[in-house]
Amino acid sequence: MLKNFVVAVSLVAATWLAGGRAQAEDPTKLRIAGILSAGKEAPWESSFVSSMDRIIAAKPHGLDIEVNYTENVSDNAEQVFRTYAETGDYDILFGDTAYVDAIEKLKDEFPNVMFVMSGSGNRGLGGNAYWIFVHAHEPAYVMGQLAGKLTKSSVVGAISTFPAEDTNDQINAFFAGAKDANPKVKQKITFIQSWFDPAKSNEATSAQIAAGADMVYQMSGAFEVCEERGIGCFGNYVDMSKVAPKSIVASTIVKWDPHINWIIDEWWKAKTTSAKFDAPKEPRWFTWQQGSGELVLNPTWEAKMPGDVKALAAETAKAIQGGGKKIELDLNEPKSD
């Protein structure tokens, strides 16, 4: 009897000690390098930094998270990734764009580091190379409905950078929303063939206005002509109403929160189970219902919108976020009518 009791106590103690050791061995800190293609003030990068700030504050898995950024990374991407990896101090190297070539050269050399790439221009590598996609087509569809209802000319335009899957998705959804709200709408699309060129953006905007457009999705981020001409324009990635208070009707807000949380969960799983990183070959993305975006109306425009227009936008947004309405993810290159 006494022997059985001692054995039982010993088993409980061993279990408790093992649990205590496992608990103590769980990571408490996470160091991330954010490798950004432009400055942190740029809309795309700003959306990423804002999302990361929210994740840091939320402390997933109780982790103290530290993030250091390198901005304006382009041709030297491989060296930037390598420099971070070689320190041995960083757990996740989080790239905000198409860094697949650099990551492919480094991932096997640094198997304990998690590499992350985002968006089009990448390809699945598996292992410790993770690929995420940020699609904002669902709130873009609702903006399109606003454009379709508010246009007086029934000509709706979009100015964008390059035709790519993570620009095409939003433009196609925007035009689909506009035509669903107003079947008379004709669409105009101009790609300026540059990631950032305000002069080309403004020139393209002027040309579209001359062709009749009075509602324009400004994905290339230049709003001077919109403000000067008093037409309705739509912002992207962050709330642009402060940049162009007279012309911005609404903006899509990109939220990387679910993507970052997924990456951290994958890292945590590997670190707490001694499993190897096992990234899927297909990109991982999240819906509006899962917290990937938001739609923000400019209060100046909202105040003068007809009640039925605001109601339509609100009802559609609610239906999408609730899962009752599905918006097609169309990655084909859009064309003008």
- pLDDT of 25 reads 80
The secondary structure of the chain, three-state, reads: CHHHHHHHHHHHHHHHHHHHHHHHHCCCEEEEEEECCCCCCCHHHHHHHHHHHHHHHHCHHHCEEEEEEECCCCCCHHHHHHHHHHHCCCCEEEECCCCHHHHHHHCCCCCCCEEEEECCCCCCCECCEEEECCCCHHHHHHHHHHHHHHCCCCEEEEEECCCCHHHHHHHHHHHHHHHHHCCCCEEEEEECCCCCCHHHHHHHHHHHHHCCCCEEEECCCCCHHHHHHCCEEEECCCCCCCCCCCCEEEEEEECCHHHHHHHHHHHHHHHHHCCCCCCCCCCECCCCCCCCEEEEECHHHHHHCCHHHHHHHHHHHHHHHCCCCCCCCCCCCCCCC
Instruction: Kindly report the pTM of this predicted structure.
Output: 0.90
Kindly report the number of other CB atoms within 10 A of residue 85's CB atom: 19
Kindly report the number of other CB atoms within 10 A of residue 216's CB atom: 28
Low-confidence ranges of the chain (pLDDT < 50): 1-24
- pLDDT of 10 reads 43
- pLDDT of 92 reads 98
Per-domain boundaries in the chain: 26-132+256-273, 137-254+292-321
* pLDDT one-digit tens code per residue, 124-163: 999 999 999 999 999 999 999 999 999 999 999 999 999 9
Helix axes 307-321, 137-150, angle to 10 degrees: 160
Measured CA to CA, the distance from residue 286 to residue 255 in angstroms comes to 10
- pLDDT of 1 reads 45
Q: Do domains 26-132+256-273 and 137-254+292-321 have the same CATH topology?
A: yes
- pLDDT of 60 reads 98
Can you name the residues that pair with 36 across neighbouring β-strands?
Answer: none
For domain 26-132+256-273, the CATH class is alpha beta
CATH of domain 137-254+292-321: 3.40.50.2300
- pLDDT of 196 reads 80
